[in-house]
Amino acid sequence: MEGVIFYWLFWLLWIYSTFLMKKGKERLKVSIWLLLTMIFSIHSLQFFHLHISFSSLFILMTVYYLIGKLDRWQGIYTFISSLIMLLSYMIFYLFELYDPVWVLFNRCLMLSFLLVSLAVLLHKELKLRLLAIISGAAQGDFLYGIYLRKFSIVYPIGMPAFLDVLALSITILLGINGLKKLSLTIENHLKHLEKEKQKLS
């Protein structure tokens, strides 16, 4: 059932951001953003024969604002990387549309791993990786909906299938970042133990 992955993962992320993140403005902003995205996901509007969810509009406005706050060159690079994500998202869906046989397993997993792989290759910072994936996927879903409209196919933009991909991609990225931090902590701890042994000897 489409949308289940989105609600489960976003609720888990909301619990983490609300109760486990360090206190501060950042925690409040993340918690509010997650909650509003879930609330807006059940509402949609019709615009020029396109069915668009409020959550996709909210997501796009948020990432455009955050990209706009980056310094000039960082913003340009993030915008370019989001275009790469957009094209990857579109091409994946077009391949699936014209030749669905090549989708070997779960579409949501395949697309999420593709987007995360590109984000890891293109950016070093977690924040920029998240911005590139979110903006690229949201814009890609918009363009895909507009493309299908030319063939009189109604494609609801920003609906559960898109939100599942987005939620899974964000969770995978956060998981990678968490494992990286854990490995660094273990490495530092081992180095500290090694130094202690050398002092004792």
pLDDT at 181: 87
Judge whether 103 lies within some domain: yes
Contacts of 65 (CB under 8 A, 6+ apart): none
Residues 129 and 120: their CA atoms lie apart, in Å, by 7
Please, are residues 6 and 53 in contact by the beta-carbon 8 Å criterion? no
Radius of gyration from C-alpha coordinates of the chain: 19
Residue 102 belongs to some domain of the structure: yes
Residue 51 domain-assigned? Answer: no
Is 3 among the domain residues?
Answer: no
Count Cβ atoms below 10 Å from residue 156 Cβ, excluding itself: 16
In this prediction, residue 131 carries a pLDDT of: 94
35 domain-assigned: no
Is 28 a member of any domain?
Answer: no
Residue 61: per-residue pLDDT: 93
- Number of independent structural domains in the chain: 1
Question: What is the per-residue pLDDT across 156-196, written as a single tens digit (0 to 9) for each?
Answer: 888 888 999 999 999 999 999 989 888 888 888 777 777 77
Task: Give the pLDDT of residue 200.
Answer: 65
The residue segments making up the domain with residue 141 are: 57-200
Q: Is residue 32 part of a domain?
A: no
- pTM score, whole prediction: 0.88
Q: Does residue 107 contact residue 96 with C-beta atoms inside 8 Å?
A: yes
Q: From first to last of the 201 residues of the chain, give the pLDDT tens digit.
A: 677 889 999 999 999 888 878 888 888 899 999 999 999 988 888 877 788 899 999 999 999 999 999 998 998 999 999 999 999 999 998 888 887 777 777 888 889 999 999 999 999 999 999 999 999 999 999 999 888 888 888 888 888 889 999 999 999 999 999 898 888 888 887 777 777 777 766
Per the domain annotation, does 123 fall within a domain?
yes
